[in-house]
Structure 1
Amino acid sequence: MAFLHTGEVRLRAAAPPRPDVLLVTSQGGHLAQLLTLREWWGTRRRLWVAPPTPDVQDRLEREVVINSHFPTTRNARNALRNVVLAWRVLRRHRPRLVVSAGAGVTAPFFVVAWLLRIPTVFIEVYDRVDSATLTGRLVGPFTTRQVVQWESQLAAYPDATVVGPLL
Protein backbone atom coordinates (compact mmCIF):
# COMPACT_ATOMS: atom_id res chain seq x y z
CA MET A 1 0.00 0.00 0.00
CA ALA A 2 1.19 3.49 -0.62
CA PHE A 3 0.71 5.77 2.30
CA LEU A 4 0.76 9.39 1.24
CA HIS A 5 1.08 11.84 4.07
CA THR A 6 1.07 15.56 3.37
CA GLY A 7 3.47 15.24 0.48
CA GLU A 8 5.54 12.35 1.81
CA VAL A 9 5.17 9.10 -0.09
CA ARG A 10 6.03 5.67 1.23
CA LEU A 11 5.56 3.89 -2.03
CA ARG A 12 4.26 0.56 -3.24
CA ALA A 13 1.71 1.99 -5.64
CA ALA A 14 1.09 5.37 -7.21
CA ALA A 15 -2.01 7.48 -6.77
CA PRO A 16 -4.32 7.43 -9.79
CA PRO A 17 -3.89 10.44 -12.12
CA ARG A 18 -7.39 11.71 -11.37
CA PRO A 19 -9.40 9.43 -9.14
CA ASP A 20 -13.01 8.74 -9.94
CA VAL A 21 -13.68 8.53 -6.22
CA LEU A 22 -12.01 9.65 -3.02
CA LEU A 23 -13.10 7.46 -0.11
CA VAL A 24 -12.75 9.24 3.23
CA THR A 25 -13.03 7.16 6.38
CA SER A 26 -12.17 6.60 9.98
CA GLN A 27 -11.03 3.21 11.19
CA GLY A 28 -13.25 0.38 12.42
CA GLY A 29 -16.92 0.22 11.48
CA HIS A 30 -16.83 3.26 9.20
CA LEU A 31 -14.16 1.58 7.11
CA ALA A 32 -15.99 -1.76 7.24
CA GLN A 33 -19.10 -0.17 5.74
CA LEU A 34 -17.15 1.33 2.84
CA LEU A 35 -15.41 -2.00 2.25
CA THR A 36 -18.79 -3.64 1.64
CA LEU A 37 -19.08 -1.41 -1.44
CA ARG A 38 -15.98 -2.98 -3.03
CA GLU A 39 -18.04 -4.24 -5.98
CA TRP A 40 -18.83 -0.59 -6.79
CA TRP A 41 -15.54 1.17 -6.02
CA GLY A 42 -13.34 -1.74 -7.06
CA THR A 43 -13.87 -0.97 -10.75
CA ARG A 44 -13.04 2.73 -10.37
CA ARG A 45 -9.84 4.71 -10.03
CA ARG A 46 -9.79 5.47 -6.34
CA LEU A 47 -7.85 7.04 -3.55
CA TRP A 48 -8.44 6.67 0.19
CA VAL A 49 -8.03 9.05 3.13
CA ALA A 50 -7.82 7.20 6.44
CA PRO A 51 -5.82 7.19 9.67
CA PRO A 52 -2.65 5.08 9.75
CA THR A 53 -4.03 2.56 12.24
CA PRO A 54 -3.28 -1.18 12.12
CA ASP A 55 -6.78 -2.15 10.92
CA VAL A 56 -6.66 0.44 8.11
CA GLN A 57 -3.20 -0.70 7.06
CA ASP A 58 -4.33 -4.32 7.06
CA ARG A 59 -7.69 -3.85 5.31
CA LEU A 60 -6.39 -1.39 2.70
CA GLU A 61 -3.11 -3.18 2.10
CA ARG A 62 -3.36 -2.99 -1.71
CA GLU A 63 -4.90 0.48 -1.87
CA VAL A 64 -3.40 3.94 -2.16
CA VAL A 65 -4.06 5.66 1.16
CA ILE A 66 -3.41 9.22 2.28
CA ASN A 67 -2.95 9.33 6.04
CA SER A 68 -5.37 11.56 7.89
CA HIS A 69 -4.55 13.08 11.25
CA PHE A 70 -6.13 11.40 14.25
CA PRO A 71 -7.62 11.24 16.75
CA THR A 72 -10.25 13.72 15.63
CA THR A 73 -12.64 13.48 18.57
CA ARG A 74 -12.20 16.54 20.78
CA ASN A 75 -8.92 17.38 19.07
CA ALA A 76 -9.02 20.84 17.50
CA ARG A 77 -5.40 20.65 16.35
CA ASN A 78 -6.02 17.52 14.27
CA ALA A 79 -9.29 18.92 12.95
CA LEU A 80 -7.38 21.96 11.63
CA ARG A 81 -4.62 19.74 10.25
CA ASN A 82 -7.29 17.74 8.39
CA VAL A 83 -8.72 20.95 6.90
CA VAL A 84 -5.28 21.71 5.46
CA LEU A 85 -4.94 18.09 4.31
CA ALA A 86 -8.36 18.21 2.64
CA TRP A 87 -7.45 21.39 0.79
CA ARG A 88 -4.15 19.90 -0.44
CA VAL A 89 -5.60 16.52 -1.43
CA LEU A 90 -8.70 17.83 -3.18
CA ARG A 91 -6.84 20.58 -5.03
CA ARG A 92 -4.09 18.20 -6.15
CA HIS A 93 -6.16 15.13 -7.09
CA ARG A 94 -9.54 16.67 -8.06
CA PRO A 95 -11.60 13.47 -7.65
CA ARG A 96 -14.90 13.27 -9.48
CA LEU A 97 -16.69 12.23 -6.27
CA VAL A 98 -16.02 12.11 -2.51
CA VAL A 99 -17.71 9.32 -0.53
CA SER A 100 -17.70 8.79 3.24
CA ALA A 101 -19.44 6.89 6.00
CA GLY A 102 -17.73 9.07 8.64
CA ALA A 103 -16.50 10.01 11.10
CA GLY A 104 -14.38 13.00 12.20
CA VAL A 105 -12.20 13.38 9.12
CA THR A 106 -15.27 13.61 6.87
CA ALA A 107 -16.30 17.18 7.67
CA PRO A 108 -13.14 18.93 6.44
CA PHE A 109 -13.21 16.96 3.19
CA PHE A 110 -16.90 17.63 2.54
CA VAL A 111 -16.59 21.36 3.22
CA VAL A 112 -13.58 21.70 0.93
CA ALA A 113 -15.21 19.50 -1.73
CA TRP A 114 -18.29 21.75 -1.58
CA LEU A 115 -16.09 24.84 -2.05
CA LEU A 116 -14.42 23.19 -5.05
CA ARG A 117 -17.80 21.98 -6.43
CA ILE A 118 -16.87 18.32 -6.14
CA PRO A 119 -19.97 16.13 -5.51
CA THR A 120 -20.18 14.26 -2.21
CA VAL A 121 -22.06 11.23 -0.90
CA PHE A 122 -22.51 10.68 2.83
CA ILE A 123 -23.55 7.21 4.01
CA GLU A 124 -25.12 7.25 7.47
CA VAL A 125 -23.79 4.41 9.58
CA TYR A 126 -25.58 1.14 10.13
CA ASP A 127 -26.04 1.38 13.87
CA ARG A 128 -27.58 4.86 14.19
CA VAL A 129 -31.22 4.09 13.46
CA ASP A 130 -33.21 6.78 15.25
CA SER A 131 -31.14 9.97 15.00
CA ALA A 132 -28.44 11.58 12.90
CA THR A 133 -24.79 11.23 13.86
CA LEU A 134 -22.79 14.35 14.65
CA THR A 135 -20.90 13.87 11.39
CA GLY A 136 -24.15 13.55 9.45
CA ARG A 137 -25.44 16.78 10.95
CA LEU A 138 -22.16 18.63 10.30
CA VAL A 139 -21.79 17.57 6.66
CA GLY A 140 -25.48 17.80 5.74
CA PRO A 141 -25.25 21.28 4.18
CA PHE A 142 -22.20 20.21 2.15
CA THR A 143 -23.53 16.86 0.96
CA THR A 144 -24.77 16.26 -2.58
CA ARG A 145 -26.48 12.96 -1.74
CA GLN A 146 -27.26 11.34 1.59
CA VAL A 147 -27.64 7.59 1.83
CA VAL A 148 -29.19 5.70 4.74
CA GLN A 149 -29.40 2.02 5.54
CA TRP A 150 -32.75 1.89 7.37
CA GLU A 151 -36.18 3.35 6.66
CA SER A 152 -36.23 4.73 10.22
CA GLN A 153 -33.21 6.92 9.37
CA LEU A 154 -35.40 8.92 6.98
CA ALA A 155 -36.76 10.78 10.01
CA ALA A 156 -33.32 12.37 10.42
CA TYR A 157 -32.54 12.49 6.68
CA PRO A 158 -35.85 13.03 4.83
CA ASP A 159 -34.14 13.60 1.46
CA ALA A 160 -31.92 10.53 1.72
CA THR A 161 -31.94 7.40 -0.39
CA VAL A 162 -32.45 4.09 1.45
CA VAL A 163 -29.98 1.47 0.21
CA GLY A 164 -30.51 -1.16 2.88
CA PRO A 165 -27.99 -2.51 5.40
CA LEU A 166 -24.39 -2.61 4.22
CA LEU A 167 -23.19 -4.89 7.05
Structure 2
Amino acid sequence: MDKICLVSSTGGHLAQLKQIIPILSNYNYFVVTEFNKMSDNNNKEEKYYLKQQERKNILFLYCALYNIIISIYIILRERPSIIISTGAGAVIPICLFGKLMGSKLVFIESFAKISTPTLTGKILYRFSDRFYVQWEQLIKYYPNSVYRGTIY
Protein backbone atom coordinates (compact mmCIF):
# COMPACT_ATOMS: atom_id res chain seq x y z
CA MET A 1 0.00 0.00 0.00
CA ASP A 2 1.21 3.51 -0.83
CA LYS A 3 2.49 5.63 2.03
CA ILE A 4 1.52 9.31 1.80
CA CYS A 5 3.41 12.22 3.33
CA LEU A 6 1.31 15.30 4.06
CA VAL A 7 3.60 18.29 4.55
CA SER A 8 2.97 21.96 5.26
CA SER A 9 4.04 24.81 7.42
CA THR A 10 1.69 25.72 10.22
CA GLY A 11 -1.24 28.18 10.25
CA GLY A 12 -3.38 28.45 7.14
CA HIS A 13 -1.25 25.99 5.18
CA LEU A 14 -1.83 23.31 7.83
CA ALA A 15 -5.53 24.16 8.03
CA GLN A 16 -5.79 23.56 4.27
CA LEU A 17 -3.87 20.30 4.50
CA LYS A 18 -6.19 19.06 7.26
CA GLN A 19 -9.13 19.46 4.84
CA ILE A 20 -7.94 16.47 2.82
CA ILE A 21 -7.19 14.13 5.74
CA PRO A 22 -10.74 12.69 5.82
CA ILE A 23 -10.33 11.28 2.29
CA LEU A 24 -7.16 9.48 3.38
CA SER A 25 -8.72 7.27 6.04
CA ASN A 26 -8.02 4.12 4.01
CA TYR A 27 -4.39 5.06 3.35
CA ASN A 28 -1.19 4.89 5.34
CA TYR A 29 -0.16 8.51 5.85
CA PHE A 30 1.85 10.74 8.15
CA VAL A 31 2.07 14.50 8.68
CA VAL A 32 5.11 16.77 8.62
CA THR A 33 4.64 20.33 9.86
CA GLU A 34 6.23 23.02 11.98
CA PHE A 35 5.86 22.69 15.73
CA ASN A 36 3.58 25.10 17.57
CA LYS A 37 0.32 25.00 19.56
CA MET A 38 -1.83 24.56 16.44
CA SER A 39 0.17 21.63 15.16
CA ASP A 40 0.64 19.97 18.55
CA ASN A 41 -2.74 18.33 18.87
CA ASN A 42 -3.49 14.79 19.92
CA ASN A 43 -4.79 13.50 16.60
CA LYS A 44 -4.10 9.90 15.77
CA GLU A 45 -1.83 10.53 12.81
CA GLU A 46 1.91 10.13 13.05
CA LYS A 47 3.70 13.49 12.98
CA TYR A 48 7.15 14.83 12.42
CA TYR A 49 8.08 18.40 13.17
CA LEU A 50 10.18 20.96 11.32
CA LYS A 51 11.47 24.21 12.79
CA GLN A 52 9.49 27.33 11.92
CA GLN A 53 11.38 28.93 9.09
CA GLU A 54 10.83 32.62 8.41
CA ARG A 55 13.07 34.32 5.84
CA LYS A 56 13.36 37.53 7.88
CA ASN A 57 14.42 35.72 11.07
CA ILE A 58 18.08 36.04 12.03
CA LEU A 59 18.19 32.26 12.61
CA PHE A 60 16.82 31.48 9.13
CA LEU A 61 19.95 29.69 7.91
CA TYR A 62 20.13 27.54 11.06
CA CYS A 63 16.44 26.61 10.76
CA ALA A 64 16.79 25.90 7.03
CA LEU A 65 19.80 23.62 7.60
CA TYR A 66 17.99 21.81 10.42
CA ASN A 67 14.94 21.33 8.18
CA ILE A 68 17.09 19.93 5.38
CA ILE A 69 18.64 17.37 7.71
CA ILE A 70 15.34 16.33 9.33
CA SER A 71 13.69 16.15 5.88
CA ILE A 72 16.34 13.72 4.65
CA TYR A 73 15.85 11.64 7.81
CA ILE A 74 12.06 11.56 7.37
CA ILE A 75 12.20 10.56 3.70
CA LEU A 76 14.78 7.82 4.35
CA ARG A 77 12.80 6.49 7.33
CA GLU A 78 9.30 6.62 5.86
CA ARG A 79 9.91 6.20 2.09
CA PRO A 80 6.60 7.80 1.01
CA SER A 81 5.40 7.05 -2.49
CA ILE A 82 3.37 10.29 -2.59
CA ILE A 83 4.03 13.70 -1.02
CA ILE A 84 1.14 16.17 -0.82
CA SER A 85 1.93 19.74 0.22
CA THR A 86 0.16 23.06 0.65
CA GLY A 87 3.42 24.99 1.28
CA ALA A 88 5.19 27.12 2.56
CA GLY A 89 8.98 27.48 2.51
CA ALA A 90 9.96 24.92 5.16
CA VAL A 91 8.47 22.14 2.98
CA ILE A 92 10.79 22.66 0.01
CA PRO A 93 13.60 20.34 1.24
CA ILE A 94 11.30 17.40 2.01
CA CYS A 95 9.47 17.81 -1.31
CA LEU A 96 12.66 17.97 -3.35
CA PHE A 97 14.46 15.17 -1.51
CA GLY A 98 11.34 13.00 -1.70
CA LYS A 99 11.12 13.64 -5.44
CA LEU A 100 14.80 12.72 -5.78
CA MET A 101 14.07 9.45 -3.96
CA GLY A 102 11.18 8.59 -6.30
CA SER A 103 8.13 10.02 -4.55
CA LYS A 104 5.33 11.56 -6.61
CA LEU A 105 4.83 15.20 -5.66
CA VAL A 106 1.40 16.85 -5.46
CA PHE A 107 1.34 20.54 -4.62
CA ILE A 108 -1.76 22.56 -3.78
CA GLU A 109 -1.18 26.31 -4.17
CA SER A 110 -2.38 28.34 -1.20
CA PHE A 111 -6.03 29.33 -0.90
CA ALA A 112 -4.84 32.76 0.26
CA LYS A 113 -3.10 33.48 -3.03
CA ILE A 114 -5.89 34.59 -5.33
CA SER A 115 -4.06 36.49 -8.06
CA THR A 116 -0.32 35.97 -7.57
CA PRO A 117 1.79 32.84 -7.04
CA THR A 118 3.69 31.93 -3.89
CA LEU A 119 7.46 31.60 -3.87
CA THR A 120 7.12 27.95 -2.79
CA GLY A 121 4.64 27.32 -5.60
CA LYS A 122 6.97 28.86 -8.17
CA ILE A 123 9.82 26.61 -6.99
CA LEU A 124 7.87 23.35 -6.65
CA TYR A 125 5.80 23.79 -9.83
CA ARG A 126 8.77 22.57 -11.88
CA PHE A 127 9.06 19.36 -9.85
CA SER A 128 5.41 18.52 -9.18
CA ASP A 129 3.72 15.54 -10.80
CA ARG A 130 0.38 17.25 -10.16
CA PHE A 131 -0.05 20.93 -9.31
CA TYR A 132 -3.41 22.31 -8.16
CA VAL A 133 -4.52 25.92 -7.99
CA GLN A 134 -7.53 26.96 -5.93
CA TRP A 135 -8.26 30.05 -8.01
CA GLU A 136 -8.74 29.86 -11.76
CA GLN A 137 -6.81 33.08 -12.43
CA LEU A 138 -3.57 31.41 -11.22
CA ILE A 139 -3.53 29.13 -14.27
CA LYS A 140 -1.79 31.94 -16.16
CA TYR A 141 1.21 31.50 -13.82
CA TYR A 142 1.00 27.71 -13.80
CA PRO A 143 -0.17 26.64 -17.29
CA ASN A 144 -0.02 22.90 -16.56
CA SER A 145 -1.88 23.20 -13.26
CA VAL A 146 -5.30 21.76 -12.44
CA TYR A 147 -8.17 23.88 -11.16
CA ARG A 148 -10.89 22.05 -9.24
CA GLY A 149 -12.07 24.84 -6.95
CA THR A 150 -11.08 25.36 -3.34
CA ILE A 151 -10.53 22.71 -0.70
CA TYR A 152 -12.64 24.58 1.87
Normalized against structure 1, the TM-score is what?
0.83
Counterpart position of 1:146: 131
Displacement of 1:31: 0.8
| Contact 1:72-1:79 within 8 A present in 2 as well | no
Q: Superposition RMSD on alpha carbons, in Å?
A: 1.6
Greater CA drift, 95-104 or 135-144:
135-144
Q: Is 1:27 equivalent to 2:10 in the alignment?
A: yes
Give distance in 2, aligned partners of 1:65 and 1:146.
24
Give distance in 1, aligned partners of 2:8 and 2:63.
15
| Contact 1:20-1:96 within 8 A present in 2 as well | yes
| Contact 1:97-1:119 within 8 A present in 2 as well | yes
Q: Is 1:64 equivalent to 2:56 in the alignment?
A: no
Instruction: Give unmatched runs, 5+ long, in structure 1.
Output: 1-17
Aligned-pair identity in percent equals 28
Counterpart position of 1:159: 144
Displacement of 1:84: 1.1
Give distance in 2, aligned partners of 1:152 and 1:65.
34
Relative to structure 1, the CA distance from residue 149 to residue 40 in structure 2 (aligned partners, 3 Å threshold; closer, same or farther) is same
| Contact 1:19-1:47 within 8 A present in 2 as well | no
Give distance in 1, aligned partners of 2:65 and 2:124.
16
Of 9, 27, 30, the match for 1:47:
30
Aligned amino acid, residue 44 of structure 1:
Y
Instruction: Give unmatched runs, 5+ long, in structure 2.
Output: none
3-state DSSP class of the match of 2:131? Answer: strand
| Contact 1:130-1:155 within 8 A present in 2 as well | no
Q: Deviations over 1:47-96 (max 9, x none)?
A: 111112101113x6322110111234341211111111111111111011
What aligned pairs does 1:107-146 form with structure 2 within 5 A after superposition? Answer: 107-146=92-131
Give distance in 1, aligned partners of 2:64 and 2:74.
15
Give distance in 2, aligned partners of 1:98 and 1:165.
19
Displacement of 1:142: 2.0
| Contact 2:109-2:132 within 8 A present in 1 as well | yes
Dislocated runs of 4+, deviation >4 Å: none
